[in-house]
Amino acid sequence: MVDLTTSWLGLSLRSPLVVAASPLSKDASAIAEAVAGGAGAVVMRSLFEEQLVHEQMGLHRFLDARADMDAEARSYAPGPHAFSADAEPYLAELARLKKRVDVPVLASLNGTTPGGWTSYAKRLEDAGADALELNLYEVGSAPDETGAEVEERQLTVVRGVVAAVAIPVSVKITPFYASVTAFVRALERAGARGVVVFNRFYQPDIALDTLDVDRHLVLSTSAELPLRLHALARLSPVTGLSLACTGGVHSGLDAAKAILSGAHAVELASVLLERGPGHCAVLRDELAGWLREKGYASSAEARGVLDLRSAPDPRAWERLDYAQMLDGWRPSRSGKRRP
């Protein structure tokens, strides 16, 4: 029997497979099914900064208006809870999940500017979240804001959230930093306990027939995994943070690749949305089967075996062989691509 347990963010998980943030967390039965299929933890869908700021503005407007009322009018006015439209259902969802499953449940906050909305981190901790995932998702910043300024702003958010809670904070990032490793090390200094690589961008397309922006959401494929493997392999030797892979894991073999590259945990969204939460069991069995076949007694033993420090030929992760590889590329006579 292969031991799949892993330590992630200081939490002990029975398996490295984690349900990634998605609308699945709204359905406690679906989450229970994923956990029965071997998921070791669950990340809830995100609460977004703009929702929380909106909620706070609603509350402030309410308090200002209430201060102007006389006592009788105040007794008829709705209480502050009437304005907690966004956070309250989320807290209820967290409570439902905590009651339903016996694995760690992470709440997720999504935002990139310092502000009062980060105080919700404490509410999530008080409501029982075992850890927080902070998603630093932003599509574009102000045209003149430099990369260094964007990073400093984001680090300020991380410091604010870390200062607000005692539970571990993991940060979900995009691949679009000039130096992912330097930014991850800065996250570590800011107090984060883990990093999740990489968020997938919302990528609207162009609809040529309607001459419009096509905004439908496309699920991932395994083709998105190598970008993550490369980052994990480079991060694993240079950070003490817990590493999670998200993006393009569609099979147990994909999960094995992420673990070999250095991941402590592997987050799954598209595959569970496509095939159903019970499909987690297929990935778990495939992962365990592969580890057994290769002679690993545990997933921990396989972790990082192919990272930049430990791979038999670390140059394969680097640029060194790149020119040689390009030089060796030959188009086939049929015109089809051939490596």
Ligand X SMILES: Cc1cc2nc3c(=O)[nH]c(=O)nc-3n(C[C@H](O)[C@H](O)[C@H](O)COP(=O)(O)O)c2cc1C
| Class of residue 61 by CB neighbours under 10 A (exposed 0-12, middle 13-18, buried 19+) | exposed
Candidates 56-64, 90-98, 157-165, 270-278; binding stretch for ligand X (CB under 6 A): 270-278
Separation between Cα atoms, residue 246 and residue 273, nearest integer Å? 14
135 touches ligand X by CB under 6 A:
yes
Name which position in 38, 194, 248, 262 contacts ligand X (CB under 6 A).
248
| Nearest residue (CB) to ligand X, 127 versus 311 | 127
Q: Give the x-and-dash track for 12-51 against ligand X (CB under 6 A).
A: --------xxxx---------------------xx-----
User: In the complex, what is the shortest distance from the CB of residue 44 to ligand X, in angstroms, rounded to a whole number?
Assistant: 8
Separation between Cα atoms, residue 123 and residue 107, nearest integer Å? 10
**Nearest 10 degrees: CA dihedral of 22, 270, 173, 116?**
-10
Name which position in 172, 228, 257, 284 contacts ligand X (CB under 6 A).
172
Candidates 51-59, 173-181, 212-220, 227-235; binding stretch for ligand X (CB under 6 A): 212-220
| Nearest residue (CB) to ligand X, 277 versus 308 | 277
Candidates 84-92, 153-161, 206-214, 243-251; binding stretch for ligand X (CB under 6 A): 243-251
Q: Give the x-and-dash track for 91-130 against ligand X (CB under 6 A).
A: -----------------x-x--------------------
Q: Give the x-and-dash track for 277-316 against ligand X (CB under 6 A).
A: ----------------------------------------
Contact between 110 and 48 (Cβ < 8 Å): yes
User: In the complex, what is the shortest distance from the CB of residue 62 to ligand X, in angstroms, rounded to a whole number?
Assistant: 27
Q: How many residues bind ligand X (CB under 6 A)?
A: 25
| Nearest residue (CB) to ligand X, 262 versus 308 | 262
247 touches ligand X by CB under 6 A:
yes
User: In the complex, what is the shortest distance from the CB of residue 146 to ligand X, in angstroms, rounded to a whole number?
Assistant: 25
Of 89, 64, 88, 90, nearest to 77 (Cα)?
64
Q: Which sign, positive or negative, has the C-alpha torsion 221, 28, 172, 138? A: positive
Q: What token pair was written down for 280?
A: 């987690």
236 touches ligand X by CB under 6 A:
no
User: In the complex, what is the shortest distance from the CB of residue 78 to ligand X, in angstroms, rounded to a whole number?
Assistant: 29
Candidates 55-63, 149-157, 267-275, 318-326; binding stretch for ligand X (CB under 6 A): 267-275
Separation between Cα atoms, residue 302 and residue 256, nearest integer Å? 8
Separation between Cα atoms, residue 231 and residue 239, nearest integer Å? 12
Candidates 63-71, 242-250, 294-302, 309-317; binding stretch for ligand X (CB under 6 A): 242-250
- In the complex, the residues that contact ligand X under the rule CB under 6 A are 20-23, 45-46, 108, 110, 135, 172, 199-200, 217, 219-220, 246-249, 267-271, 273
